[in-house]
Chains A and B, each alone.
Chain A
């Protein structure tokens, strides 16, 4: 029993990342009708916003500390980060410790700008082109973004740490009445799951309860009519693209303590996220979220030793297998609407 709960928890954080990326992909597909192969790259750019902030926080100058001496007896030279000297030692250290969550503040404007530029500069011209063209051009863009990041940050993964308060693991089993140490779950993964839940609910609430969201939903259902009513639906859709980019970006930021960011993480997640979107149903937002968590959890169950010994290799292929089964039996996906991209 405890093993099952552990796997369930393990699936949650990966599932959260899938769900967040798939949510953005679906949002873009539902509003603009564009298949965005560069969405994984947006996730990666988000992660590298955190890396950038880490580099900025890490900028330091050398200072002689007269109170301490090194092993030769000379005054010790210590490196002092600029933030500590500007904002005082306490606040500076706090900033450095909390750099990953703080990166969100950097990532949101960056991602919004990237999203707007991408939509106005490139995607706009591909509304009416075939899906294959959209896939190909965004695939090219993904390569470009990935290579740019590789150019500036190198090819090696860069470690970024979670705030020290969250660095340990939580004894989750005790809460449920199991033995201590039975279910250990890193705090940060829990944070990631809660964060993802908040973002997902935020996006749904935005679409459901604001006038803006209502117009967007109307546009998703019937773009032409909304346009005829004198509403500039294109501008709203561009904003939604920016929102989708921001969601992918913050998903990337918060994921950095779980997976050290490297330049090809976007591509790795993109393939899986596409599978998630297809399983959930192209154009269905709840479907994308549900399928994201479902596949994340399935994947972590499949990597249990008991199951791996039963069906060798199942952990490697389970997601694709599920996708193939779904596509063949229910092409509209789990929660997809009838008639949307069924062929």
Chain B
């Protein structure tokens, strides 16, 4: 079974990803609504859209960081640029999201070209600082001088007196796709005690995310992708063989910038707002976190990392005293209080602490992220089976997720 220029294994892999993505509204809703597990359900549109959007962001970042090893600390700038582009298209043309998304990709590509051209003259920590400096400059400017373009602290939004020249009287009054559906449209499906929300906005982002994933898969398997990996492994050697690596790294930087712009555009497609806080350097740090946590340089890793962080951001910040008391009610009172006091450090408002700890643990013990962890466990099981068969399995083959 070969499709779209992929090998057998990759086709299966892609199909699995497509299946999982399309079934997400069901898979993330494993508990009946009335049950205590309902708070662990993640099958509501807002969160699922964020999975898909940050998945795209992380996939793009991974093309730069995972393949070439260049650690950018300024990718949130492109996210912000993408959001602003989409909202401007709303204001000027109308609520159709497509022109905005196209503009978001183009504008972020231009910014990435400029910033990448300058920043890639240096590598290592200097590259990180340069990208950070550019992103901070853009963030500061968005708050101050560029207020006419960005609406400063209020954030850019659509007002009733905006021109919206392409908007006809019959057009929808919220972000929509060629007037076919609104992003906020959704149908509820009730099966027994379960309730599933099928949202137009989610499927829209999911389709884009699948395309984004497919492109990254092709890049990983292409000679271009190999070249990027070679740059990560030994750039000096490449230079000595007479290869100029700059065009390759620049291309990777621009591609990842476009992914980030697209993700930012989609954020504004879901919620027609754009604010400068999206460009802050902590947002850049977050995407680094996602990629590292999932596994840099792997295909699935960034998506897993993005989903993991967004899921736990949502769940952990929802856990409050009431929930904790409910959970630990079976314990003796003294112990219960001790445990709840300790839990306070990690849940609710201070879930970032958990995130920071997790991040440290991953960097220290599992530099390959969740994917590597999964592979290690799989390898251990496989190793045991091989021993049972009294065969000496060769070194485990790299799986498709690599």
Taking Cβ atoms with an 8 Å cutoff, the residues of A that contact B are 35, 122, 125, 131-133, 135-137, 139-144, 146-148, 150-151, 267, 271, 274-275, 278, 282, 312-313, 316-317, 320-321, 323-324, 327-328, 331, 341, 343
Structural contact, A327 and B124, CB atoms closer than 8 A: no
Q: Give 27 pairs: A residue, B residue, CB < 8 Å, sorted on A.
A: A132-B128, A133-B363, A135-B71, A136-B292, A136-B363, A139-B359, A140-B360, A143-B352, A144-B360, A148-B353, A151-B344, A151-B345, A151-B353, A267-B282, A271-B136, A278-B129, A282-B125, A313-B140, A316-B140, A316-B141, A316-B144, A320-B134, A324-B133, A327-B130, A331-B122, A331-B126, A341-B125
Interface of B is mostly: helix
Cα-based distance from A98 to B54 in the complex (angstroms): 50
Q: Which of A140, A282, A331 has the most CB of B within 10 A?
A: A140
Q: Which of A132, A150, A312 has the most CB of B within 10 A?
A: A132
Structural contact, A140 and B359, CB atoms closer than 8 A: yes
Cα-based distance from A35 to B127 in the complex (angstroms): 14
Q: Which of B121, B146, B360 has the most CB of A within 10 A?
A: B360
Also in contact, A147 and B350, with CB within 8 A (given A141-B360, A274-B129): yes
Interface of A is mostly: helix
Structural contact, A341 and B144, CB atoms closer than 8 A: no
Partner of B137, one of A141, A142, A320: A320
By a CB distance below 8 angstroms, the chain B residues around A142 are 356
What are the 8 closest A-B residue pairs judged by CB atoms, nearest first? A313-B145, A143-B356, A316-B140, A140-B359, A147-B353, A144-B356, A140-B360, A320-B133
Partner of A278, one of B123, B126, B136, B356: B126
Query: What is the count of residue pairs linking A and B with beta-carbon distances less than 8 angstroms?
Result: 112
Q: Which of B122, B124, B125, B141 has the most CB of A within 10 A?
A: B125
Cα-based distance from A328 to B117 in the complex (angstroms): 11
Structural contact, B141 and A317, CB atoms closer than 8 A: yes
Please report the total number of B residues contacting A with Cβ < 8 Å: 42
Q: How far is the CB of B113 from chain A (nearest CB, A)?
A: 16
Cα-based distance from A343 to B132 in the complex (angstroms): 17
Also in contact, A323 and B129, with CB within 8 A (given A136-B292, A147-B356, A267-B282): yes
Structural contact, A132 and B132, CB atoms closer than 8 A: no
Cα-based distance from A321 to B349 in the complex (angstroms): 36
User: Any chain A CB within 8 A of the CB of B393?
Assistant: no
* A138, closest chain B residue (CB): B360
By a CB distance below 8 angstroms, the chain A residues around B140 are 313, 316-317
Cα-based distance from A99 to B96 in the complex (angstroms): 60
By a CB distance below 8 angstroms, the chain A residues around B350 are 147, 150-151
Cα-based distance from A281 to B166 in the complex (angstroms): 54
User: Any chain A CB within 8 A of the CB of B3?
Assistant: no
By a CB distance below 8 angstroms, the chain B residues around A132 are 69, 71, 124, 128
Cα-based distance from A341 to B128 in the complex (angstroms): 13
